[in-house]
Chain A
């Protein structure tokens, strides 16, 4: 039988880059093909060629054995190819049904929208693939995972049978990822074929039938989860051996640097988000805060860095009370902060790289004399930092928005690590980064620890917590369930704590526990 989709010799050049270099790819019916590659490997370009957003310089596309030309998304949709973008294209104030019918509105009596018919169809699709989406819910009020399912419904509503999912797990919590995987499997069982784009090795191993690895615009190999290991995949992806586990010496903690007592913080809407947390972090150790996203980690970090006012409690750094201090005063205590959302909080994207490298030290000598900025000193220091932290940019005058996510993160790390610091607060420091960058940033964090910096690491990725932490705190609904030495912590135990099941409490029934463990 002819493959449902076949690409032959797809080539696309952009000025200065060969984004896709003679890529061949086949997709069988009912198959899950994972397309693995680092940021910039050409995955998205290839899919945009397939979806008609770009025109290839060379190459042929066959759908169900027929040679086709795709000049735009409408052609792709007509051929049954649907794309779920990494960034959702939804109107938050519309209902699910309205979002789904947008662009293919069904109409009755000339001008009136036939919402009922569309809603019925949405319900049918939702039931058929167990998507559990309410057609009448407003999209803005739905959790991210459900919004993604709305995107999937949009594609199915247009009767696609080849689905392209572009980095679908980047925005999901571990549970949502597991739910998404169930949905993907059920789609395949019913004859849909799926291309799953990602750079996360673990997901590939969990979901794919076949794996294609892209590097530098070329297809460097195809394999299957049975034949591959995470290590071999990483090597194919990066082109060299990658250390997935960070080597580190045991911690040698000394003085207490950060001390938090009974901290209470409310979120932006005034609901309690952090409810009475006490802990300390010593120089030379890494305290990891694990937990499913949305359990108050964001508010905890914002309160510690002065971006959010605590309701009650006490925070001191180096013995100085900073509970009500401004962000600048806290920075000046020697606190480095790698923020959760680098584009929203960590960078001024339209500034050139050099300005972002001094974003919080611009007013200090040698970068300023009085109010006068010392351009020469700033440029010199910026170039030095960009070199030391391997920021990949043609020069430091490029707008920071033109850098890849990994390099943007390196700009932040370079800035924060280049001044004398005693406490590092790193929130999801490797979110959305590829293997190479993750390895790099992890190494830098351990280096800082070994220099005697106290490190507070917050991450929903259990792997990251386990790889770096010396002690692990598990956060659940605004409280720490426990603080464990990393050596003694097991994945299972952490998983239970993350789900709010404490050590003492007996599990209610075995099935639930299995479920919970399964998720992590």
Chain B
């Protein structure tokens, strides 16, 4: 009953309580909104598919006399579109069965490879999305809006392809990393310029990076028509050395390559950097409250420059990945807008590396499925842009989703704990 004893007890128990982690919000709660956003976008996309098809629309003229016909046609239209998308992105179950049977019967791998081709293509498309999404997310974490990812992708690709074709005689284990890092560093410097301008002059990074995009596009146009053009009339660079290619694991047509694993490793590295190091603590502090960061002795300007460098470098890796892993050369307009899609993607992934990887896989799947949908079901590929745009709207305005599905707003505290550091 001695008093000091009580005191140490209450001290120990209070500290223990303070250290007790609250139960984590269920993972489902955190990803419920994004999932519903994607689902809703697909539903609305289906309506767009139906109402842009003249044949189906004509059936709706007779809706009141023959409603079944119109509805059935609509259903057929949507089902064929989305099943084409599914087959084009994940694969056709029938093909898998055929592939395995052929393997058992004749030992021929080709049909099986054919069956795995769609999912391989989805993953291949996801890789640049992962890099570019990480680039935007890292910028967001520091409170910076890097719209220059597209331009940085071009700069990264230019540097990588140059190192890839101009240096010969290197072993692959040196040439590949060298070419890859050349792309990252070049694009990092390109992004860092915007950071430097912001730090030194206060010029807004959104304006700077947009302008730098145009410079990058025209620079690559000029290089591909001049100094970097391969002999001939086409504005395209020479092919890179075999020693600079990111290794593939399967025979054609499976293009799945080592870049996918590099991307996952880089995502893990970004996670570690942001959340487990002093560097990330500084970047996130500057992003969350620059005044408090300065007060705490953190250099805001230095972190602006650093974050823009790192963001640019990640974008550059997307470009490097495309030329070293997929195309093996650089052609004009090779990056069909990865840089701009990645902004949506980073938002969808809540600026968290894990979220970005998941969102990138989704975007890669949609994009590669849409290509197939266009050829099989005759649905224009633009439908995918509509779906992506809807996803962004729903993510940016979660109130819409909450309203549609009658979701309650989560307790602020609970939500904030789970989304801590998710950059939103």
- Please tell me if the beta carbons of B18 and A393 are within 8 angstroms of each other in the complex: yes
A373 in contact with B292 given A395-B20, A401-B416 (CB within 8 Å): no
- Which residues on the B side are within 8 Å of A371 (C-beta)? 277-279
Task: Choose one: A355, A383, A401; the contact of B15 (CB below 8 Å).
Answer: A383
Are B19 and A327 in touch, CB under 8 angstroms?
A: no
Q: Counting CB contacts under 8 A, is B413 at the interface? A: yes
Cα-based distance from A382 to B19 in the complex (angstroms): 9
Q: Which of B292, B298, B416 contacts A399 (CB 8 A)?
A: B416
Q: How far is the CB of B82 from chain A (nearest CB, A)?
A: 39
Q: CA of A347 to CA of B291 in the docked complex: distance in angstroms?
A: 9
* A9 in the interface (beta carbon within 8 A): no
Q: Please, how many angstroms separate the alpha-carbon atoms of A327 and B299 in the complex?
A: 9
Q: Considering the chains assembled together, what is the distance between the CA atoms of A307 and B300 in angstroms?
A: 12
- A346 interface neighbour in B14, B279, B281, B292, Cβ under 8 Å: B292
Residue of A with least CB distance to B19: A383
Q: Which of A387-420 contact B (CB under 8 A)?
A: 387, 393-399, 401-402
CB-based contact B420/A348 at 8 Å: no
Give the contact-size bracket for chain A. Answer: 35 or more
- Cβ-closest 3 pairs across A and B: A328-B297, A360-B296, A383-B18
Q: Is the CB of B18 within 8 A of A395?
A: yes
Binary per-residue interface labels of chain B (384-411) against chain A in the complex, 1 for a CB within 8 Å, 0 otherwise? 0000000000000000000000000001
The one of A307, A375, A395 in contact with B17, judged by C-beta atoms closer than 8 angstroms, is A395
Contact A344 B292 (CB under 8 A): yes
Note all chain B residues with C-beta closer than 8 A to A382. 18
**Closest beta carbon of chain B to A270's beta carbon, Å:** 15
- The CA of A305 and the CA of B294, in the complex, are separated in Å by 10
For residue A130, CB closer than 8 A to chain B, the reply is no
Whole-angstrom CA separation of A375 from B421 in the bound complex? 15
Contacts of A349 in B (CB 8 A): 288-289
Are B294's CB and A327's CB within 8 A? yes
Query: Which of A190-247 touch B at CB < 8 Å?
Result: none
- The interface residues of chain B lying within 8 Å CB-to-CB of A327 are 294-297
Smallest distance from the beta carbon of A221 to chain B beta carbons, Å? 31
For chain B, give the interface size range. 20 to 34
Residues of chain A within 8 A of B296, CB atoms compared: 327, 331, 359-360
The residues of A that contact B299 with a CB separation of less than 8 Å are: 326, 328
The verdict on A15 contacting B411 (CB below 8 Å), with A328-B297, A352-B420 known, is: yes
Query: Is A351's CB within 8 Å of the partner chain B?
Result: yes
B234 on the A face (CB < 8 A):
no
The answer to whether A362 has its CB under 8 Å from any CB of chain B is: yes
B interface, by DSSP: helix, strand, loop or mixed?
A: helix
Docked complex Cα distance between A382 and B18 (Å):
9
A514 lies within 8 A of chain B by Cβ: no
- 25 example contacts (A-B, Cβ-Cβ < 8 A) are as follows A305-B295, A307-B294, A328-B298, A331-B297, A346-B292, A348-B289, A348-B292, A351-B285, A359-B285, A359-B292, A360-B297, A362-B281, A363-B281, A371-B279, A375-B276, A379-B19, A380-B19, A393-B18, A394-B22, A395-B20, A395-B21, A395-B22, A397-B21, A397-B22, A402-B413
Please tell me if B417 contacts chain A, counting CB pairs below 8 Å: yes
Q: Is the CB of B285 within 8 A of A363?
A: no
CB distance from A211 to the nearest CB of B (A): 33
- Which single member of B281, B291, B417 contacts A345 (CB below 8 Å)? B291
Asked if B6 is at the interface (CB within 8 A of a chain A CB), the reply is: no
**What is the bound-complex CA distance between A401 and B281, given in angstroms?**
18
Q: Are B281 and A373 in contact (CB under 8 A)?
A: yes
| A516 in contact (CB, < 8 A) | no
A250 to chain B, nearest CB (A): 31
- B235–chain A nearest beta-carbon distance, Å: 44
B412 in contact (CB, < 8 A): yes
State in angstroms the CA–CA spacing of A359 and B298 once bound together: 10
A368 within 8 A of partner (CB): yes
Give the distance in Å from the alpha carbon of A29 to the alpha carbon of B406 in the complex: 45
Please tell me if the beta carbons of A397 and B417 are within 8 angstroms of each other in the complex: yes
Give the residue among A331, A350, A394 with the most B Cβ atoms within 10 A: A350
Once A327-B297, A402-B412 are accepted as A-B contacts, the answer to whether A368 and B292 lie under 8 Å apart by CB is no
- For residue A12, CB closer than 8 A to chain B, the reply is no
With most chain B CB atoms within 10 A of its CB, the pick from A328, A348, A362 is: A348
Partner of A307, one of B18, B278, B295: B295
- Of the listed residues B20, B278, B299, B417, the one surrounded by the most CB atoms of chain A closer than 10 A to its CB is B278
CB pair B291 A344 closer than 8 Å: yes
> What is the CB-to-nearest-CB distance from A398 to chain B, in angstroms, rounded to a whole number?
6
Restricting to B363-402, which residues have a CB under 8 Å from any CB of A?
none
How distant is the Cα of A386 from the Cα of B14 in the complex, in angstroms? Answer: 9
- Is B11 located at the chain interface by the 8 A CB criterion? yes
Question: Please, which residues of chain A bring their CB within 8 A of the CB of B292?
Answer: 344-348, 359
8 Å CB contact of A368 from B278, B285, B294, B295: B278
Q: Which one of A350, A373, A380, A399 lies within 8 Å of B278 (CB-CB)? A: A373
Kindly list chain B residues whose C-beta atoms are within 8 Å of the C-beta of A463.
Answer: none
A360–B298 CA distance with the chains assembled, in angstroms: 8
Residue of A at shortest CB range from B286? A348
Which residue of A has the minimal Cβ distance to B415? Answer: A399
Q: Are A396 and B18 in contact (CB under 8 A)?
A: yes
CB distance from A241 to the nearest CB of B (A): 21
Closest Cβ of chain A to B16, distance in Å, is: 8
Which B residues lie within 8 Å of A402 (CB)?
412-413, 416
Please, which residue of chain A has its CB at the minimum distance from the CB of B423? A350
The answer, yes or no, to whether A449 is at the interface (CB within 8 Å) is no
Q: Which residue of A lies closest to B296 (CB)?
A: A360
Does A291 touch B at the CB level, under 8 Å? no
Contact A347/B22 with A360-B297, A383-B15, A399-B416 known, Cβ cut-off 8 Å: no
User: Using Cβ atoms and an 8 Å threshold, which residues of chain A touch B17?
Assistant: 394-395
Within 8 A of A (CB), among B264-310: 276-279, 281, 285, 288-289, 291-299
Instruction: Report the separation of the CA atoms of residues A401 and B298 in the bound assembly, to the nearest whole angstrom.
Output: 21
Tell me, yes or no, whether A271 is within 8 Å of chain B by CB: no
Q: In the complex, what's the smallest C-beta–C-beta distance from A115 to chain B, in angstroms?
A: 34
- Supposing A363-B278, A394-B22 touch, asked if A399 and B417 sit within 8 A by C-beta, the answer is yes
Instruction: Tell me the minimal C-beta distance from B131 to chain A in angstroms.
Output: 23
